[in-house]
Amino acid sequence: MCGFTISSQKNVEISEILKCRGPDNFSKIEFDDISFNFARLKIRDLSDKSNQPLVNERYIVSFNGEILNIESLKKQFKISGEFESDTLFLIEYLNKHKDELSLFDSIRGFYSLVVYDKKNKNFLIARDYLGIKPLYLEILDEEFTLSSVPTRKFHKELNSGNINKLITYRFLDYKTKNEIFDGIEIPPGFNKWLSLEEILNFNFINFNNNYENNVFSKFNKIYRKKNTKNLFENIENKLIDAVNINLISDVNIGIFLSGGTDSSLLTALASKEIGNLNTYSIIYKDYKYDESSFQDIISKKFKTNKHTFEETENSYVESFSNASKFSHTPLLIPNYVSLFNLAKEAEKISKVVLTGEGADEIFGGYYVFRDILRYQVLNLIPSINISLSKKYNQQKTFMNDVNKKYLDELLPTSENFNLYDVKSISDVFFHERNNYLKGLLGRADQMTMGNSIEARVPFLDQDLVREVDKLPMNQKVGIRKRKKILHEIASKYLPSEIIERPKIGFSVPIVNWYSQKSELYNLFNEQINNNSSLHELFDKEKVKVILKKAENDPDILENVIFPIVAVGLWL
C-alpha cells in the first residue's frame, strides 16, 4: 500500500499527504521529462528491493495496493520465478504479456497503477474493478498529473446547484463528482494503454457511460442465472477463502470490530487463522448507540486482543480539521472523523486492518433493498403504480422537506434532483455498488491511509462477489429480511444476539456534544462566523439564522449545519 504522483509538470515533489500514505520510503526519478514520485508503506517484502518506482530496461512501474493471488496467476499466465512482491510480478508479466490485459480480470486484491513504457512512450493505467484504491488524472496547460491524491479543489465555475446536490446526496456518481471537483477520478475497472495525447484528451464522460452500460449489462445477465445448487456452500467457502487471502502480510493485521454482523463474522473467521487477533473498536460513553456490549461478546467468544478507543467531544474536535486534510472531498458524514481516530489508535500496533465495507452493498443489507422490493411487489397490483426511482432517490438523500427548503435558500437551484433511475430491485444493487459503496471505500482508504495504515475489504474479494452475484434475488433479500444468505452463514459462527440486533449504522453523538455548548459548539460557530472561504459559498447571515434554529432541531444540526461546517474545514 502506497501513494504515487506521476507528472509532466516541472518540480513536482512528494506532498505531505502523499507521504502519510507511505512513510517507509520516498523515491523520485525522472525520465523523458516526466517525474515519478513514490511513497511506500511496507506490507509485503519489507526489503528495499521492492521500493518503487520499480524500473527495468523497458518499464517504470508505480503500483498502489496488493495482488493477493500471485501464485495462481503465475500458473495461469505461465510465469516462472519467485516474486516477493506484486510489483516484481507485474514487471515479469509485462515482459511476457505486454499487450494482454486479461490479467486484470483475474487479480484478487485492490490496486491502482501506472506503468510507463520507455520504448513505446505510452502508459498503462489501471484501477481495480470496484475502485477500492484511488487514482486521479489532472490536466493543466497541456501537462498531466496521475496521482493517488487529488488537488482537493472545487471547480472554479462551481455553481450553487452542484454544492446543493453534494450536500443532499453526500455520495455521488462519478459523472456528478467530476462536475464538482477538479481532476478526473479514473473509473473502476479501467485498464488501458494510453499515449500522451490520449491522456491529455481523456474523455471521462464518454468512457464512464460505456463503462456503466457494460457493467450494467453483465450485472443483469448474472442475475438471470437461477442454478442455486450448492450455492450456499460455495459462498461460505468463498467468504472463508476471501478472509484467509486477505490475511497475507508480513506485518501485524487487525480488524475494525463494530459489533455488527459483518465485522463480527470477519473476526470469527480470521481468529481461526490468527491467535490473539487484535481488534479495534470505538465507543461513545453514555450514548444510546454505543455498541461496546456487542463488541465485548465477540471479543470474549473469539478470544481477541481487544483495543477500545473512547471517542470524546475533545478528541473529535481536535481531529476534525486534520482528518479533513486527508479527505478527497468534504467530510459530510460525522463518522469519518471517528474512523480517522480509530485508525490512529490501530496504527500503534497494526499496519493492516480488515473492515466490513461492501457486505451491505453486495448481500443487500440496507433497509432500502427491502423497501424497494416491497414497492416492486405492490406494483404487481394493476391499480398501483409506485415510482421506484422516486422512492429510491428519497431514501438516498440526507434531507427531509424542511431541511431541503433551508438548503435551497442557501444554495438556490432550478434542478429537481433525481439522480438514479430504478425500475427493479436489481437496479438498487447496481446503484448501491457503483455509487454509495464508492463513498464508503473512499472514506476507508483516506481515513486509514491518513494514519499510514492499510484497510482491506474481504467482502469485496472478486471471487466472492462473482459467486454472490449468481444468487437469484429472493436468496439475497425478502420483503421482511435483508442480507438473507449472509445472516444464514453468520448463524453458524455468531451468537443470535449479534445477528438479530437492529442495524444502526456508524452513529456519532454530534447533537449531544453540541447541546453542551462547549468545544463542538465553539467550532461550529467559529467556522460559520469567521471562515471567509466558507462565506464565498454560503450567505453568512442566512447560515446564522439556520444555526439558531438548529439549536432546537437536531435534524437541522446534523444534516444542514454539520455539512456546511465540514465544507469550511475542508476548504
Q: Could you give the CA distance from residue 56 to residue 125 in angstroms, rounded to a whole number?
A: 18
Please provide the distance, in angstroms rounded to a whole number, between the alpha carbons at the two ends of the chain.
27
Which residue from 188, 171, 168 is spatially nearest to 407, judged by alpha carbons? 168
What is d(CA 56, CA 280) in angstroms, rounded to the nearest whole number?
A: 41
Using the predicted structure, report yes or no on whether residue 391 has a pLDDT greater than 80: yes
Q: Which residues pair with 39 in a beta bridge?
A: 3, 26
CA–CA distance, 233 with 531 (Å, rounded to integer): 56
Q: What global pTM score does this model have?
A: 0.94
Percent of the chain with pLDDT over 90: 68
User: Tell me, what DSSP letter sits at residue 479?
Assistant: S
Grid cell locating 471: 444468487
Compute the mean pLDDT over every residue in the chain, rounded to the nearest whole number: 90
Amino acid at 433: R
What is the H or E stretch that residue 192 is in?
strand 191-195
Tell me the C-alpha distance between 299 and 372, whole Å: 35
Is the predicted pLDDT of residue 218 greater than 80, yes or no? Answer: no
The three grid cell numbers given for residue 246, joined into one nine-digit string: 486477505
Please compute Rg for the chain using Cα positions: 23
Q: How confident is the model at residue 206 (pLDDT cuts 50, 70, 90)?
A: low
Backbone angles phi, psi at 145, to 5 degrees: -140, 125
**Strand (E) or helix (H) holding 403:** helix 401-410
Which of 66, 68, 95 lies closest to 81, judged by CA? 95
User: Is there a contact between 331 and 442 (Cβ–Cβ < 8 Å)?
Assistant: no
CA atoms within 13 A on the CB side of 475: 20
Say yes or no to pLDDT of 348 above 80.
Answer: yes
Q: Do 426 and 473 form a contact (C-beta atoms < 8 A)?
A: yes
Q: How far, in Å, CA of 559 to CA of 334, rounded?
A: 10
Band the pLDDT of 211: cuts 50, 70, 90: low
pLDDT > 80? residue 16? yes
Dist CA 101 CA 93 (whole Å): 10
Average confidence (pLDDT) over 165-176: 82
Residue 425 CA to residue 374 CA, distance in Å, equals 9
Which amino acid type is present at position 462?
A: Q
* Cell 455548548 found at: 517
Judge whether residue 250 has pLDDT over 80.
yes
Hunting for cell 391499480 — which residue is that?
383
Q: How far apart are CA 447 and CA 449, in angstroms?
A: 6
CA trace torsion 126, 51, 183, 443 (10° rounding): 90
Mean pLDDT of 322-344: 95
User: How far apart (Å, rounded) are the C-alpha atoms in residues 530 and 534?
Assistant: 9
